[in-house]
Amino acid sequence: MLHDFGLSSVTPLQVASVITMMVCSPQSSLSVTSDIHLQQLGVAGWGQTSLEQGLDTSKVTSAVWNPAVFVSAVREVVPSINWLEVIQRFDNPYFYITDSTSLKSLMSSISAMKIQREFPIDFLLGKWKNNPGQVEFAELFQQPCC
């Protein structure tokens, strides 16, 4: 199945990059720029952008991402993926949770990972390269989200 998309394997970095794009995109919606965003994250092997493929994007409507469904699909296709490493890879320059909707989306994707331990709070409290993203995430994480 992965070969159908030009991939031989899926890495924690790729999964984290896709989840980052899904939860941190404005309104967490599908857009032509989503493919470009993945390239900016350095995710090789996810195919060309819609524009490069010559697709007619004038008929594309906004569709809300569901990162929990994506995580479930990854769990099925790559059962051996290290979900703790995926979470650690959220420390990237594009990870910036700005509202409760994005936080809920992120937390639902983490819940779908079905990690066999408590939320890795040490990740949240440890030193990040993306300090602004960490601070915003930590502030929103402390607020009731539901």
**Per-residue pLDDT band at 31 (split at 50, 70, 90):** very low
**Per-residue pLDDT band at 125 (split at 50, 70, 90):** confident
Q: Is the pLDDT of residue 122 over 60?
A: yes
Q: Is the pLDDT of residue 70 over 90?
A: yes
Q: What is the DSSP string of 48-96?
A: --TTTTT--GGG----B--HHHHHHHHHHH-TT--HHHHHHTT-STT--
Task: Specify the range with the lowest mean pLDDT, choosing from 5-19, 41-55, 98-112.
Answer: 41-55
Burial status of residue 5 (CB atoms within 10 A of its CB: 0-12, 13-18, 19 or more): exposed
Query: What range does the domain containing 51 cover?
Result: 2-142
Per-residue pLDDT, 5: 58
68, 112 in Cβ contact below 8 A? Answer: yes
Task: Specify the range with the lowest mean pLDDT, choosing from 56-65, 71-80, 94-103, 137-146.
Answer: 56-65
Q: Is the pLDDT of residue 85 over 70?
A: yes
Please give the average per-residue pLDDT across 141-145, as a whole number.
69
Give the position of tokens 């993945």. Answer: 38
**In total, how many domains does the chain have?**
1
**pTM for the full predicted model:** 0.71
